[in-house]
Amino acid sequence: MPAVWAGGWSDDPAIEARVERLLKQMTLEEKLGQLSQYSGNMQTGPDTGRRDYKEMVAAGEIGSFLNVTGEQANRYQKIAVERSRLQIPLIFGLDVIHGYRTTFPIPLALSSTWDTELVERAARIAAMEASADGVRWTFSPMVDIARDPRWGRISEGAGEDPYLGSAMARAYVRGYQGESLSDPTSLLACLKHYVGYGAAEGGRDYNTTEIPERLLRDVYLPPFQAGVEQGAATVMSAFNALNGVPASANPFTLGQILRKEWQFRGFVVSDWTAIAETVAHGTAIDGADAARRSIVAGVDMDMQSDLYRTALADEITAGKVPVSIVDEAVRRVVRVKFAMGLFEDPYARIAPEKMLTPDHRQSAREAAEKSFVLLKNDGILPLKRGARVALIGPLADSAGNMLGGWSAKGEEADVVTLRSVLAKELGADVTYAKGTEISGGADGGFAEAIEAARSADVVILALGEDAPTMTGEAASRTELDLPGNQEQLLEAVAAVGKPVVLLLFSGRPLVLTRAVERAAAVLEAWFPGVEAGPALVRTLYGDSNPSGKLTASFPRSVGQLPVYYNHLSTGRPLPGEFDPNSIGSASKYTSRYIDQANSPLFPFGFGLSYTTFSYGPVKLEALSYSAAELDMGKAEVKISAEVTNSGLRPGQEVVQLYISQRGTSVARPVRELKGFRRVALQPGETKAVEFALGRDELAFWNIDMQDVVEPGKLKVWIAGSSKDGIPAELTIE
């Protein structure tokens, strides 16, 4: 399928002619310069092998910077376009992951909104702010599927599901790249980390991944393909070895799949020093060998290894790398620079007034509210005005943590915390006690917390992880309960006997098995961004009704991992629910643990509301369809269900469509998400929600590794989570 370039530029002949003209004028050194990217915040000088960046830019030895912004970017650009021989402009990239100055909720939280329009808007806002500060390329979205919350980077993605992940990938690309790459507010999107990085063994960051080809194609590749089809201009090759081959030197994933099958026309940048790391992986003998393997496999730009610039010329002279491969990589890079309009308009118009506008804040608040997932509520929420509140916990007033693990130019001073909003709104009716630290805290603060709980009607307890150190890159954990002595604080406070509303701030699914029992209500708030406080207070008091749904399963224990909803059945599925007394009975020899249920504590798709929704039966338009017609795109399975707001408050429900197939050449998951819609309903209101399943939803990689719709039985659920609903069944002949 040919790639569609965002903004409708696809192989523009005028651009192609300019690319060829430029290429002819370039020396080999200048070509390798275009393929080299350096971080502005790294040292240069004798020990680094690099000279002053200004000299290097003037000599045409650098094609792109990361971590250079604002006027500094314009200063380097001036050198590139005025002093370098061919005047090729630089591109400035940065990790703009969930907002630039206006920090939005972390990506895992954004995915929990299931609101692609909102995610697109968040990405657009990030693009407008970043481009007003010299940045035209973001290393986002991370579209790695993650089934293991031990992996800290689960916070940066859209969770465990390829269908949702693909929808989110498209939304980010649309938002970042906008109407056209040549629009000065457009950021190049970068789909990362290609590929399999999220499947790190044991959830340990940078670890090896083993993913059979069918699983790779069914689960890990679809969000990348969706992003490529949406027109993403760049892809980042990952750190991990995939089935023994480093992803940053992998001809199968980079050459065969990305270039040949998907016709990707943008360029591939390596992850940070990932080319050099192929030596540590053990495939490359030395730096020169690493550079050779990566460029031949299809990595166009070297981020920070300093190997393309320093080692490739000799490899070419020695005949080990054909110059045509380098030429092709250069074409890909400069083609994007032409498409961005950088040759005509290289400088950024720095505009601080475009940052953190009231509109941007408003969108950040909306995103935060829609991302909150209500995990438990015995009726205490929403809180009644007039109740005296004890606000306790190390995250109640932690501005820095609200920014999450990777906040480009977010500032603590921009954050409105929960404590500050409650203090303003409740005055003397709120008492604050920190209670303990996130980790390493002693129980010295417990007494004050208990005292605060005693004198209140209700306790709001703000607990969780430390965003910068416990989530994101290089932050894998083996224990997933609340860090430090926060569980003890919860117990001590709960023992007072006042209802406890537990607010959780985390970058991953946590193990909440014990914590949930102690609390009257639990709201997963992730790391909500600059508008954390207003969004939380509006939600706690019912001005906003929670509507987020989990995009990654919350396990009962670490021992259950990996636990994800779209698993296979096995030949001995556990019938019904877990019953510890059934050991020795008929269910002993089923696929199960003897000491715990198979199911997660909170499943994918789960999330409560202050109202309730009821689902009517799944209605089918027909009971049988032809596999051949479905496969050719000539037919679609139409299904619908009525959804009613059966409670007393207006609310929004994320209606989810799941399928499962039987009678197929390979076993298919017990359920797979294949559609979703956010529906707003007034109390008592009913809406019919319709879905269509076509080739894109029904085809899978079969026993012959063909992507086809096979005959079989198809079950369909329309429900409010991956565990709910009664399926209807039809036949694909």
Active site residue ranges: 271
> Cα 581 from chain centroid?
40
Which residue number, 67 or 182, has a Cβ lying nearer to ligand BGC?
Answer: 67
Taking CA atoms, 533 is separated from 103, 353, 393, 695, in Å, by: 13, 24, 14, 44
DSSP codes, 354-423: GSS-HHHHHHHHHHHHHH-EEEEESS-PSPPTT--EEEESTTTT-HHHHT-S--SS--GGGPPPHHHHHH
Q: Is the CB of residue 470 less than 8 Å from the CB of residue 483?
A: yes
Helix ranges (DSSP H) in 635-699 = 695-698
Which residue number, 188 or 637, has a Cβ lying nearer to ligand BGC?
Answer: 188
CB of 269 to ligand BGC, least distance (A): 9
Which residue number, 115 or 133, has a Cβ lying nearer to ligand BGC?
Answer: 133
Q: How far apart are CA 195 and CA 208, in angstroms?
A: 12
Q: State whether the Cα torsion 51-54-59-60 is positive or negative.
A: positive
Classify the phi-psi angles of 633: left when phi > 0, otherwise alpha if psi is within -120 to 50, otherwise beta.
left
What is the side-by-side strand order in the sheet with 672-681? 624-625, 728-732, 712-719, 651-662, 672-681
Q: How far apart are CA 68 and CA 134, in angstroms?
A: 8
Q: For the chain, how many helices (H) and strands (E)? A: 23, 27
Classify the phi-psi angles of 484: left when phi > 0, otherwise alpha if psi is within -120 to 50, otherwise beta.
left
Which residue number, 123 or 709, has a Cβ lying nearer to ligand BGC?
Answer: 123
CB of 567 to ligand BGC, least distance (A): 28
Q: Is 183 a binder of ligand BGC (CB under 6 A)?
A: no
CB of 338 to ligand BGC, least distance (A): 24
> Cα 258 from chain centroid?
20
Q: Which residues, 6+ apart, have CB-to-CB distance to 381 below 8 Å?
A: 374, 501, 521, 523, 540, 542, 610
Residue environment code for 66-85, b if the CB has 16+ CB neighbours within 10 A, otherwise e: bbbbbeebbebbebbbeebe
Q: Is 473 a binder of ligand BGC (CB under 6 A)?
A: yes
- Chain positions 189 to 208 lying near ligand BGC, rule: CB under 6 A, are 192
- Chain positions 252 to 281 lying near ligand BGC, rule: CB under 6 A, are 271-272
CB of 137 to ligand BGC, least distance (A): 10
Tell which residue, 263, 375, 360, has the closest CA to residue 601: 375
Sole residue written with tokens 């993650």 = 146
Which residue number, 183 or 473, has a Cβ lying nearer to ligand BGC?
Answer: 473
Token duo for residue 512: 């909440």
E-assigned strand segments in 25-120: 36-39, 64-66, 91-94
| CA neighbours closer than 13 Å in the CB half-sphere of residue 601 | 22
**Cβ neighbours around 86 below 10 Å, total:** 15
Look at the chain and count its residues.
733
CB of 253 to ligand BGC, least distance (A): 17
Tell which residue, 600, 616, 606, has the closest CA to residue 654: 606
Q: Phi/psi of residue 182, each to 5°?
A: -80, -10
CB of 273 to ligand BGC, least distance (A): 8
CB of 234 to ligand BGC, least distance (A): 11
CB of 198 to ligand BGC, least distance (A): 12
Binding mask 121-140 for ligand BGC (x = CB under 6 A): ------------------x-
Q: How far apart are CA 173 and CA 537, in angstroms?
A: 32
Q: Is the CB of residue 519 less than 8 Å from the CB of residue 490?
A: yes
Burial class (CB in 10 A: 0-12, 13-18, 19+), 695: middle
Which residue number, 271 or 631, has a Cβ lying nearer to ligand BGC?
Answer: 271
Q: Is 100 a binder of ligand BGC (CB under 6 A)?
A: no
Sole residue written with tokens 């805290």 = 441
> For 45, which DSSP code?
B
E-assigned strand segments in 120-279: 137-138, 190-194, 234-237, 241-242, 245-246, 267-270
Which residue number, 41 or 581, has a Cβ lying nearer to ligand BGC?
Answer: 41
Which residue number, 206 or 347, has a Cβ lying nearer to ligand BGC?
Answer: 206
CB of 351 to ligand BGC, least distance (A): 24
**Cβ neighbours around 623 below 10 Å, total:** 9
- Give residue number: closest CB to ligand BGC: 139
- Chain positions 63 to 92 lying near ligand BGC, rule: CB under 6 A, are 66
Q: How far apart are CA 276 and CA 291, in angstroms?
A: 8
Which residue number, 405 or 720, has a Cβ lying nearer to ligand BGC?
Answer: 405
Which residue number, 114 or 267, has a Cβ lying nearer to ligand BGC?
Answer: 267
Taking CA atoms, 221 is separated from 144, 146, 472, 667, in Å, by: 9, 12, 21, 19
CB of 95 to ligand BGC, least distance (A): 5
CB of 236 to ligand BGC, least distance (A): 6
Under rule CB under 6 A, how many of the chain's residues touch ligand BGC? Answer: 7
CB of 139 to ligand BGC, least distance (A): 3
> For 33, which DSSP code?
H
> What is the binding site for ligand BGC (CB under 6 A)?
66, 95, 139, 192, 271-272, 473
